[in-house]
Amino acid sequence: MTAQIIDGKAIAASVREKVAGHVARLVNEHGVTPGLAVVLVGENPASQVYVRNKGKQTKEAGMLSVEHRLPDTTSEGDLLALIDELNNDPTIHGILVQLPLPEHMNSDLVINAIDPSKDVDGFHISNVGLLGTGQKSMVPCTPLGCLMMLRDHHGSLSGLNAVVVGRSNIVGKPMAQLLLGDSCTVTIAHSRTMDLAGVCRGADILVAAVGRPQMIPGDWIKPGATVIDVGINRIPKEDGKTRLVGDVDFDSAVEVAGAITPVPGGVGPMTIACLLANTVTACCRAKGLPEPEGLTV
């Protein structure tokens, strides 16, 4: 059996199309342009690429995109002052502080300084609490993108056994909350889990968010299961160049799973599409306007 490939690029394109349509209605009917501010501190090359892509796609969707690039010598106080300014800027509906921050900064303090209603990454402690108690919140982009792909593939997820490998605050934990919200029976596995292979074999839905290249082989996967591979790992090729792989060994997993996301072209494109979706949602909430359908949970 060969698994169906869940095409994250195509689903992300349809999310971006919905976002752009809603932005056009906001501009034309209400005179409101959703605005996203992205703050990058330092010179991390991967972060620079992410920030560039985010800005480009924000503009393509018809939104206002503002970038603040600060040197890594910036003091925490200066960053907090900028966040305060953005919190009070009525043209800005979403604020994203690109992580990781330089070591001299306290990331929790910085993230929790963002107005929760503008926290389009969904990392503010208020949004974490709202999600955990099943209330309307800003939902972290990567898990939201994974849930959209799962709903797109399965329709209802109710009653399915879901295993999330990884318990980070940005992927694993919110992913588990979302799956629970959709009535899955959820297990969260991590580096101390005993018999990880056995735990994974019980999964109808397996989400891998570990950061270890090709760690999960095909024989850990239940035949017919849906596999969402969040991992992005760069490994060397024979020609001295590098390539991206996920946390799942795609070649063996594709023979067993019912459906699987590729790396690249799976979860990655969905993450940015969901950032745009969250910005539109935040804008609608700020203005008391109806929220776009299908762009949040």
Residues of this chain that interact with ligand NDP (CB under 6 A) are 142, 165-168, 170-172, 189-193, 196, 209-212, 230-233, 267-268, 271
Phi-psi region of 42 (alpha: psi -120 to 50; beta: other; left: phi over 0): left
Of 295, 218, 214, the C-alpha closest to 252 is 218
Q: How far is the CB of 26 from ligand NDP (least distance, A)?
A: 26
In this complex, which beta carbon is closest to ligand NDP, that of residue 2 or of residue 191? 191
Rounded to whole angstroms, the maximal C-alpha distance in the chain is: 56
Q: Which of 119, 121, 247, 249 is catalytic?
A: 121
In this complex, which beta carbon is closest to ligand NDP, that of residue 86 or of residue 230? 230
Q: How far is the CB of 288 from ligand NDP (least distance, A)?
A: 31
What is the per-residue burial (b if ≥16 Cβ within 10 Å, else e) of 135-158?
A: eebbbbbbbbbbbbbbebbbeebe
In this complex, which beta carbon is closest to ligand NDP, that of residue 184 or of residue 245? 245
Q: How far is the CB of 191 from ligand NDP (least distance, A)?
A: 3
Q: Which of 18, 57, 98, 182 is catalytic?
A: 98
Q: Which residue is nearest to ligand NDP (CB)?
A: 168
* The one-letter amino acid at 3: A
> How far from the centroid of its chain's Cα atoms is residue 26's Cα?
24
Q: How far is the CB of 211 from ligand NDP (least distance, A)?
A: 3
Q: How far is the CB of 28 from ligand NDP (least distance, A)?
A: 32
- Give all strands of the β-sheet with 4-5 in edge-to-edge order: 4-5, 259-260, 226-229, 205-208, 161-165, 185-189
Annotated active-site residue 121? The verdict is: yes
Annotated active-site residue 57? The verdict is: no
In this complex, which beta carbon is closest to ligand NDP, that of residue 25 or of residue 212? 212
In this complex, which beta carbon is closest to ligand NDP, that of residue 175 or of residue 259? 175
Q: How far is the CB of 186 from ligand NDP (least distance, A)?
A: 15
In this complex, which beta carbon is closest to ligand NDP, that of residue 115 or of residue 247? 247
Query: Can you tell me the distance from the alpha carbon of 123 to that of 114, in angstroms, rounded to the nearest whole number?
Result: 10
List, in sequence order, every residue forming a beta bridge with 94; answer none if it has no partner: 36
* The one-letter amino acid at 125: I
Annotated active-site residue 173? The verdict is: no
Task: Report the SS3 class of residue 75.
Answer: coil
Mind giving me the DSSP string for 151-218?
HHHHS--TT-EEEEE---TTTHHHHHHHHHHTT-EEEEE-TT-TTHHHHHHT-SEEEE----TT-B-G
Query: Can you tell me the distance from the alpha carbon of 87 to that of 85, in angstroms, rounded to the nearest whole number?
Result: 5
* Residues noted as catalytic: 54, 98, 121
